[in-house]
């Protein structure tokens, strides 16, 4: 699903991730490249923010504690934010899980496996959300 | 002659003889006369009337003894037959004359004795004596005949009277001529009292329903009649004979009334018993046709009535096996009696009746069997029970003989008394089992355990799944699961022990493999969780290190340190990746794989290294090898891993390395054996455990073979390794299933079910 580089909308990126160190690193890496970042520390909070605001794209961890995981965030967006359908990047620490694999294969959503290099992250973000 | 007639008519012999003696004495001028009469051994002397005894003392005895003596002499012809000698009396001048009195058949009847004064007898006197003797003989004979007649007549009446049956004779006028005493005493009168009475007076004895004047006559035209008549208490068999006489006075009708009350009762009881007995009773012809049967017999054979069963045409239906019947007759003819003879008969409805019979043959005058009598028991149920028992026994026998377990019976002393077929199939000899102690087959260190278990069982408790090492018939030791059960006798005493032994050596191996794969699965789950948790901090470390390195303010030694952090983070990432790929249950691609080709490609990958380091690789491939079913990439990873290990091992050994790779088909498996002449493996049992490594720190993650293990297992195959017995080095064997049609179908089904 490698579409031509997306157009930057100027809105912040919604980061849904429960691990504070990972949030800190992602925020630092993205802000350094000129992106604005709003973060939610659970799937439920992410959905709440998505309902209330506008975002250039969503970066979400797949496996999170709580009722809503990455796959469900993805499904909610497909249904309620059609403009964000192609603007989702998933992060996974657990691609070995067969459920995760099945989900990724079926949705065609780009996914970065933890741990990853900054360059890997930036190139996939620029391609999916556009360059500021 | 007159005298003879007189004598015959006379009822009193002594009187006649006394008169005779007197006449004879007078005729022969004797002073005394007498007749000695012999009756058997007895002798009686009858003196002439008027004179009591001979005139001298003891005369009678003297005379009799003389008379007998003379008689004997006459018979021995010592003296003339007709007349005896004249004998001198002792002390008296007279003479005694003895004349023999003999019957016509010369039987001696008596002796005439005369006592005279004169000595000699004249010829006339002799003739006279002779005539007198003949006369006396005739008289005595007649007299005897008459008295015999008299006696016999009297006897006859007594005999008739002695008969307990009632006898009555009547004439044509229906008047009683005679009755016997039984009848009279039945009526409480002397027999004479009934003579002349009307026959109708006997009506009280028994009611016959006859309207004739005689209650016992029914048809006066017949000379013989026989029927049964009953009174209130008694039953009589009335037999009647009629003797038609010349005149009416001579016509006699004789009734004999036989009291058959008891016989009737006995018959009734017999019939009652015959009919009420639960066993079948029968009388039959030798051919098997029933002459009489009881009700039980009718019931047993399912007929509606006795008459139906007694019909002649029943027998062909009755005997399903006529040939057995002939055998039966032969046996019965030989022995006369058959006890517990088993015969199968056919009931009216066609079902079979199993019987047990006791049979007696009744023979005719020629010894042929005239009738067959017997008693019959219905043993169908027992027979069914018996056959059920037999079936059960067969079933048990089959189980005993076909089970894969060895089953033995021991006495309480531990000696083997029975071993099932499996024991012998396993190679043990009967001579080394029966009568020997089972414990002798148990490995020395386990004998105490076995003895303890035997004692527990002897005390009535079951021992289950005792695992012991036992010597097999070929001498090798096997791992056996042993159960002991007590067997009790009627008194509930344990008298033997049933031992069930199963060789679980293979099962134990399987158990070990299972335990291993379970361990691996658990490790897999653990690793997956750990990897995930490690990835988060690792992501932050790696990310921030990248960010720091991008920062131009970081310089010099700090930058170098960051490089090390980056490098080590990368290494950690690799470890976690390996861990994850070990734990990863990535589905195996199911495709046809030419294992030989995969191996050749793998060898090519390392070909340069092998060649440059002098490691020789020998390929011993089975060229017609069937394709396997699996994932060629994953299999390549497995083979590469093993080759790398082999390469490291031979390098370490420091000699000319040699790696041999063999392929072959073994049953439904493709077997790949890779052996080297390297250093061998310290612990082949643990080599597939994650993080088990013999390599230097940093050289490997210790996960390679664990991943191989996971891949091969996912293929439905197995991987093993051991140190070579001969020479150095170790061997790895990988087995993966051949792509058979069934394997392909199973794979397709699994695919569809996913």
Calculate how close chain B gets to A82, using CA atoms only, in Å: 30
- % of chain B surpassing 90 pLDDT: 14
B193 CB contacts (<8 Å, ≥6 apart)?
Answer: B184
Question: Exposure string (b/e) for B277-298, b if CB count within 10 Å is 16 or more?
Answer: eebbbbebebebebeebbbbbb
Q: State whether A25 and B547 contact (CB < 8 Å).
A: yes
Task: For residue A22, list chain B residues with Cβ-Cβ distance below 8 A.
Answer: 536, 539-540, 543
Alpha-carbon separation of residue B628 from B384, B501, B527, B663 (angstroms): 58, 39, 30, 12
What distance in Å separates the CA atoms of residue B179 and residue B318, rounded to the nearest whole number?
56
Residue A19 region, left (φ>0) first, then alpha (ψ -120 to 50), else beta?
Answer: beta
Q: What is the mean pLDDT of residues B135-143?
A: 85
What distance in Å separates the CA atoms of residue A83 and residue A56, rounded to the nearest whole number?
9
Q: State whether B546 and A26 contact (CB < 8 Å).
A: no
pLDDT digits 0-9 by tens, B154-210: 888 888 888 888 999 998 888 898 888 888 888 888 888 888 888 888 888 877 777
Q: Is a pLDDT exceeding 80 seen at residue B385?
A: yes
Nearest to A114 among B528, B535, B581 (CB): B535
A106 touches chain B (CB under 8 A): no
Task: Residue window 531-550, chain B: list those with CB within 8 Å of chain A.
Answer: 531-533, 535-544, 546-547, 550
Q: Is a pLDDT exceeding 50 seen at residue B79?
A: no
Task: For residue B544, list chain A residues with Cβ-Cβ distance below 8 A.
Answer: 25, 28
Q: State whether B538 and A115 contact (CB < 8 Å).
A: yes
Q: Are A127 and A107 in contact (CB under 8 A)?
A: no
Task: For residue B541, list chain A residues with Cβ-Cβ distance below 8 A.
Answer: 115
B588 touches chain A (CB under 8 A): no
B585 touches chain A (CB under 8 A): yes
Q: Is a pLDDT exceeding 90 seen at residue B288?
A: no
Tell me which of A35-49, B67-81, B434-448, B609-623 is least confident: B67-81
Q: Is a pLDDT exceeding 70 seen at residue B75?
A: no
Q: What is the mean pLDDT of residues A59-85?
A: 89
Q: What is the mean pLDDT of residues B321-340?
A: 86
Task: For residue A28, list chain B residues with Cβ-Cβ distance below 8 A.
Answer: 543-544, 547
What distance in Å separates the CA atoms of residue B46 and residue B27, rounded to the nearest whole number?
18
pLDDT at position A12, please?
Answer: 94
Q: State whether B539 and A117 contact (CB < 8 Å).
A: no
Nearest to B540 among A25, A101, A121 (CB): A25
Q: State whether B583 and A96 contact (CB < 8 Å).
A: yes
Q: State whether B542 and A24 contact (CB < 8 Å).
A: no
Q: State whether B546 and A119 contact (CB < 8 Å).
A: yes
Taking CB atoms within 8 Å and a gap of at least 24, the contacts of B333-338 are B333/B361, B333/B369, B336/B360, B336/B361, B336/B363, B337/B361
In 3-state terms, what secondary structure has residue B452?
helix
Nearest to A19 among B536, B546, B585 (CB): B536
Q: State whether A25 and B535 contact (CB < 8 Å).
A: no
Residue, of B209 and A31, whose pLDDT is higher: A31
What distance in Å separates the CA atoms of residue B463 and residue B453, rounded to the nearest whole number?
6
Tell me which of B495-504, B516-525, B561-570, B735-744 is least confident: B516-525
DSSP state of B206: -
Please name the residue of chain A whose CA is at the shortest distance from the CA of residue B551: A32
Confidence bin at B72 (pLDDT 50/70/90):
low
pLDDT at position B695, please?
Answer: 61
Q: What is the mean pLDDT of residues B253-268?
A: 87
DSSP state of B437: B
pLDDT at position B604, please?
Answer: 86
Q: What is the mean pLDDT of residues B311-339?
A: 84
A16 CB contacts (<8 Å, ≥6 apart)?
Answer: A39, A40, A41, A42, A43, A45, A46, A58, A59, A60, A61, A64, A70, A73
Residue B465 region, left (φ>0) first, then alpha (ψ -120 to 50), else beta?
Answer: left
What distance in Å separates the CA atoms of residue B713 and residue B232, rounded to the nearest whole number?
108
Q: What is the mean pLDDT of residues B89-94?
A: 57
Q: State whether A25 and B584 contact (CB < 8 Å).
A: no
> What's CA B201's distance to the chain center, in Å?
67
Strand-pairing partners, residue A39, are A15
What distance in Å separates the CA atoms of residue B485 and residue B441, rounded to the nearest whole number?
19
Calculate how close chain A gets to B703, using CA atoms only, in Å: 16
pLDDT at position B2, please?
Answer: 47
pLDDT digits 0-9 by tens, B597-606: 999 988 888 8
pLDDT at position B733, please?
Answer: 93
pLDDT at position B58, please?
Answer: 58
Q: What is the mean pLDDT of residues A62-89?
A: 89
pLDDT at position B754, please?
Answer: 46
Q: State whether A21 and B540 contact (CB < 8 Å).
A: yes
Q: Is a pLDDT exceeding 90 seen at residue A15?
A: yes
Task: For residue B542, list chain A residues with Cβ-Cβ distance below 8 A.
Answer: 115-117
Nearest to A118 among B532, B550, B573 (CB): B550
Task: For residue A114, list chain B residues with Cβ-Cβ distance below 8 A.
Answer: 535-536, 538-539
Q: What is the mean pLDDT of residues B363-392?
A: 87
A118 touches chain B (CB under 8 A): yes
- For tokens 């980056």, the residue is B566
pLDDT digits 0-9 by tens, B681-723: 887 777 777 666 666 555 556 667 888 888 888 888 889 888 8
Confidence bin at B262 (pLDDT 50/70/90):
confident
């Amino acid at each position: 699903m490698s579409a031509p580089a997306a157009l930057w909308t100027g809105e912040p990126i919604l980061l849904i991730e429960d691990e504070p160190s990972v949030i800190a690193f992602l925020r630092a890496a993205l802000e350094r490249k000129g992106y604005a970042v709003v973060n939610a520390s659970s799937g439920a909070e992410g959905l709440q923010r998505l309902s209330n605001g506008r975002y250039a794209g969503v970066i979400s961890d797949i496996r999170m504690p709580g009722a809503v995981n990455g796959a469900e965030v993805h499904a909610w967006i497909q249904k309620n934010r059609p403009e964000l359908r192609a603007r989702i990047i998933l992060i996974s620490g657990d691609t070995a899980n067969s459920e995760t694999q099945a989900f990724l294969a079926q949705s065609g959503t780009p996914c970065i496996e933890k741990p990853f290099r900054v360059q890997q992250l930036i190139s996939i973000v620029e391609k999916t959300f556009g360059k500021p | 002659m007159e005298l003879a007639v007189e004598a015959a008519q006379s009822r009193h012999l002594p009187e006649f003889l006394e008169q005779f003696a007197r006449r004879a004495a007078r005729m022969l001028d004797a002073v005394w006369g007498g007749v000695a009469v012999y009756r058997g051994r007895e002798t009686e002397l009858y003196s002439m009337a008027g004179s009591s005894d001979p005139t001298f003392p003891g005369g009678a005895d003297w005379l009799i003894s003389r008379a007998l003596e003379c008689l004997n002499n006459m018979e021995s012809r010592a003296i003339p037959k007709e007349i005896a000698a004249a004998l001198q009396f002792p002390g008296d001048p007279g003479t005694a004359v003895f004349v023999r009195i003999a019957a016509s058949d010369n039987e001696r009847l008596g002796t005439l004795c005369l006592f005279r004064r004169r000595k000699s007898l004249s010829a006339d006197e002799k003739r006279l004596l002779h005539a007198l003797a003949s006369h006396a003989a005739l008289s005595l004979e007649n007299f005897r005949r008459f008295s015999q007649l008299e006696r016999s007549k009297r006897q006859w009446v007594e005999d008739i009277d002695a008969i307990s049956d009632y006898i009555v004779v009547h004439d044509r006028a229906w008047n009683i001529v005679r009755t016997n005493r039984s009848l009279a005493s039945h009526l409480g009168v002397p027999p004479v009292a009934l003579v002349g009475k009307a026959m109708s007076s006997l009506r009280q004895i028994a009611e016959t329903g006859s309207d004739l004047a005689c209650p016992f006559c029914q048809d006066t035209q017949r000379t013989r009649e026989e029927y049964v008549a009953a009174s209130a208490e008694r039953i009589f068999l009335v037999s009647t004979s009629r003797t038609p006489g010349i005149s009416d006075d001579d016509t006699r009708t004789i009734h004999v009334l036989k009291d058959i009350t008891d016989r009737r009762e006995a018959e009734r009881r017999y019939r009652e018993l015959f009919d009420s007995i639960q066993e079948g009773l029968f009388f039959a012809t030798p051919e098997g046709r029933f002459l009489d049967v009881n009700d039980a017999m009718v019931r047993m054979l399912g007929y509606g009535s006795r008459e139906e069963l007694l019909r002649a045409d029943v027998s062909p239906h009755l005997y399903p096996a006529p040939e057995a019947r002939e055998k039966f007759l032969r046996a019965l003819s030989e022995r006369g009696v058959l006890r517990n003879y088993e015969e199968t008969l056919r009931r009216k409805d066609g079902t079979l009746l199993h019987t047990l019979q006791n049979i007696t043959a009744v023979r005719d005058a020629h010894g042929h069997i005239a009738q067959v009598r017997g008693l019959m028991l219905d043993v169908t149920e027992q027979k069914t029970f018996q056959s059920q028992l037999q079936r059960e026994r067969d079933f048990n026998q089959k189980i005993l003989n076909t089970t894969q377990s060895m089953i033995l019976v021991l006495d309480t002393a531990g000696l083997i008394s029975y071993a099932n077929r499996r024991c012998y199939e396993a190679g043990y000899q009967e001579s080394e089992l029966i009568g020997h102690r089972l414990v002798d087959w148990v490995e020395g260190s386990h004998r105490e355990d076995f003895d303890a278990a035997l004692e527990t069982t002897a005390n009535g408790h079951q021992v289950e799944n005792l695992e012991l090492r036992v010597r097999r018939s070929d001498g090798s030791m096997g791992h056996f699961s042993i159960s002991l059960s007590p067997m009790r006798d009627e008194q509930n005493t344990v008298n033997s022990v049933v031992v069930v032994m199963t060789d679980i050596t293979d099962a134990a191996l399987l158990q070990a493999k299972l335990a291993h794969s379970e361990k691996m699965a658990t490790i897999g789950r653990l690793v997956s969780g750990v990897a995930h948790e490690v990835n988060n901090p690792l992501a932050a470390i790696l990310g921030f290190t990248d960010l720091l390195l991008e920062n131009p303010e970081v310089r010099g030694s700090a930058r170098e340190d960051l490089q090390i952090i980056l490098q080590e983070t990368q290494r950690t990432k690799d470890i976690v990746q390996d861990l994850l790929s070990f734990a990863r249950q990535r589905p195996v691609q199911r495709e046809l794989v030419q294992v030989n080709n995969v191996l050749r490609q793998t060898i090519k990958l390392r070909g340069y290294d092998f060649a440059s380091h002098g490691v020789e690789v020998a390929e011993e491939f089975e060229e017609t090898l069937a394709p396997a079913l699996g994932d060629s990439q994953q299999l390549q990873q497995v083979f590469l891993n093993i080759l790398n290990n082999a390469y490291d091992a031979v390098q370490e050994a420091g000699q000319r390395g040699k790696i041999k790779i063999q392929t072959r088909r073994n049953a439904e498996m493709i077997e790949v054996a890779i052996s080297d002449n390297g250093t061998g493996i310290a612990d082949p049992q643990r080599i597939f455990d994650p993080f088990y490594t013999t390599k230097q720190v940093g050289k490997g993650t210790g996960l390679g073979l664990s991943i191989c293990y996971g891949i091969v297992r996912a293929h439905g195959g197995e991987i093993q390794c051991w140190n070579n017995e001969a020479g150095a080095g170790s061997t790895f064997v990988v087995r993966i299933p051949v792509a058979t049609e069934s394997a392909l179908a199973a794979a397709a089904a699994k695919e569809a079910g996913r």
